[in-house]
Amino acid sequence: MAGGRQEDEAFAAWLASHLATLRRTARAFAEPADQHDLMQELAVALWKARPRFRGKAADTTFVHRVAHNAALTWRRGETRRRKRQDGVAAELAVRAEEHPDTPEADLLERLYAAIRTLPPLDRSLILLSLDGLAYGAIARVHGLTETNIGARLTRVRARLTILVKEDGDGV
């Protein structure tokens, strides 16, 4: 029984060191009202996958891959969640009245809204880039070349710039 407790504590410490990555993944794949649910799914996926981690790659690479795959799986079930969209919009309106957004918070939310519109691979690439991973590390996560990563990220950044600007102009 003590071994189980030590394992739980070791996992909790390991998970805590990767929470920022999980939050960014959840924010990029889920609407604000669903991000907590996705965070739980990501944590469970890491719990299940951790025994398979052999240390052949960096633990950040492993976490990104597991989180990305779990988020993709979670995203496939989104059609059921779309029925709740009206309720979410009402909740966001109430929040906006209670806590007016700062310009920075508004810009950040527009950025993540734009990221959520990207195809899954592009979404993952920009998240890894935002996490500060080098092109080589991103390439290893996705099995692509560094040159391909650079080209894709250039296009993704340009697309995000347009999307965020369009969203800001429409506000």
User: Could you read off the pLDDT tens digit of each residue along the chain, which spans 171 residues?
Assistant: 456 788 888 888 888 999 999 999 999 998 887 888 899 999 999 999 988 888 888 888 999 999 999 998 888 776 555 544 444 444 544 454 455 556 667 778 888 899 999 999 999 999 888 888 888 889 888 999 988 988 899 999 999 989 888 877 755
The pLDDT score that the predictor gives to residue 170 is 58
The pLDDT score that the predictor gives to residue 96 is 47
Alpha-carbon gap, residue 114 to 124, rounded angstroms:
13
| Torsion, Cα of 131, 135, 136, 142 (10° steps) | 80
Other CB atoms within a 10 A radius of the CB of residue 59 amount to: 13
Alpha-carbon gap, residue 8 to 81, rounded angstroms:
31
Type of residue at 91 = E
The pTM (predicted TM-score) of the whole model is 0.56
The pLDDT score that the predictor gives to residue 89 is 47
Each domain of the chain, given as residue ranges in start order, spans: 20-170
